Structure 1
Amino acid sequence: MHHRLARIPGTSYALAAGFASGAAISFTPFVGLHFILAAIFAWIIRGNILTSAMGTVVGNPWTFPVIWVATYETGSWLLGWEPKDNMWGGMMEAADHVTFGSLFVDPLKALEPIAPYFHSVFLPMLLGGIVLGAIAWGVVYWPIYKLVSEYKRKRFEKRMKALERKIATSGHSDLGEEGKTIW
């Protein structure tokens, strides 16, 4: 992934900022909208939109349970609320009554069973997600920036050495005095 990421056209900042944007957005409770939100965030900060989509891989079926608990606990702590232990079971039970078809027929009525959880679950997760996402952005940005910068520098040096060898073995040079091109 490092090789592919580093070879995408763009500056080291744009590639790293895009990837970090995707990672940060993965901490928000807007599951299903992460690609779109990451692209918007990357566009706003002049990051690479393609790498923002790659960065959303931070949020996946293995990491989401940890992310959701961490964002909920952090948000509850920031709000000064005591996290509820049985909250997840009650929310999942309420969500079982919401069907995909009912969302099209009458969305407001379909969402009624989970409406009480907006204040007690979604709000802490959103606040915690923003804080942990900001931390994740910084934690992801710097290593990616350093890796991409180093890769691009080494690649440039390798290409320059190859060009120098080609010029040296060709027997003549298209370069005149002081390295200026003759033609």
Structure 2
Amino acid sequence: MLFRRKKPATLSGRLREFLWPRKGFSRGLRYLSMRVLRLSSSPHSIAVGVAAGAASSATPFIGFHILIALALAYLLSGNLIAAGITTALANPLTIPVILVATYEVGAMILGTGGSGALTGEDILHMLGHLELMHLWEPVLKPLLIGSVPVAAGSAAAFYVVAFQAVKLFQSRRQVRRSSKVQPRTAGSANGL
């Protein structure tokens, strides 16, 4: 094989690489952000797609984030690729934070902050016995209600940041392209 290692990686080496990549975690984030910035669409369309992806990532509908993001981006005439890429905000590291934030905001809106809060053991017991009706009031209702303002806030914040970033990136790219074309046209005007 062309790109195979000369010496196969050991189990401990593969485990270390899985837990802490050699190039770091920021490399993937930089790749995704550059992928969004390089899309050939208007800054508004890309920012709407990013906002749709961020809003869907702030919902408790784990597994359906990309479908929700694509539907929102389609309805709002946003960039579907940007929406799909931005759903990576909901990953195994951030989902617990998102769920806790939406639950706390929902409990605050409903006014059930301290009363009736379930422990993790109670929730696992109810899920094990499929008592979803008992889970609705203390868990699912605050999650759903709390996800609306959290999703709206994250969509607004990500729209502003994405719009400005894409606008700046595209203007700098346009300046670079025009500076590369400038010398060629000057040389051809002189008869070269």
Normalized against structure 1, the TM-score is what?
A: 0.80
Please report how far the alpha carbon of residue 24 of structure 1 lies from its aligned counterpart in structure 2 after TM superposition.
1.1
Please report how far the alpha carbon of residue 82 of structure 1 lies from its aligned counterpart in structure 2 after TM superposition.
2.7
Counterpart position of 1:151: 169
- The C-alpha deviation readout for 1:136-168, integer Å capped at 9, x for no partner, is 111111111111111111111111111111111
Instruction: Name which of 122, 126, 134 aligns with 1:90.
Output: 122
In structure 2, what residue type is equivalent to 1:91? Answer: I
- Whole-Å separation in 2 of the counterparts to 1:89 and 1:25: 28
Counterpart position of 1:31: 62
For the residue of structure 2 that corresponds to 1:2, the secondary structure is helix
Instruction: Name which of 109, 114, 136 aligns with 2:132.
Output: 114
Q: Which segment drifts farther, 81-90 or 8-17?
A: 81-90
Counterpart position of 2:99: 68
Counterpart position of 1:105: none
**Contact preservation (8 Å) 2:58, 2:147:** yes
Q: What percent of counterpart residues are identical?
A: 28
- Whole-Å separation in 2 of the counterparts to 1:38 and 1:125: 18
For the residue of structure 2 that corresponds to 1:29, the secondary structure is coil
Counterpart position of 1:56: 87
In structure 2, what residue type is equivalent to 1:7? Answer: R
Q: Output the aligned Cα RMSD.
A: 1.7
- Whole-Å separation in 2 of the counterparts to 1:87 and 1:115: 17
For the residue of structure 2 that corresponds to 1:92, the secondary structure is helix
Larger Rg: 1
**Contact preservation (8 Å) 1:91, 1:114:** no
Counterpart position of 1:46: 77
Q: Which segment drifts farther, 115-124 or 76-85?
A: 76-85
**Contact preservation (8 Å) 1:23, 1:58:** yes
In structure 2, what residue type is equivalent to 1:130? Answer: V
For the residue of structure 2 that corresponds to 1:60, the secondary structure is coil
Q: Which segment drifts farther, 115-124 or 66-75?
A: 115-124
For the residue of structure 2 that corresponds to 1:170, the secondary structure is helix
For the residue of structure 2 that corresponds to 1:115, the secondary structure is helix
- Whole-Å separation in 1 of the counterparts to 2:56 and 2:168: 26
Matched, 1:5 2:23: no
- Whole-Å separation in 1 of the counterparts to 2:135 and 2:178: 60
In structure 1, what residue type is equivalent to 2:188? Answer: S
- Whole-Å separation in 2 of the counterparts to 1:69 and 1:19: 23
- The C-alpha deviation readout for 1:55-80, integer Å capped at 9, x for no partner, is 11111111111111111111011011
Aligned length: 159
Matched, 1:132 2:150: yes
- Whole-Å separation in 2 of the counterparts to 1:169 and 1:158: 18
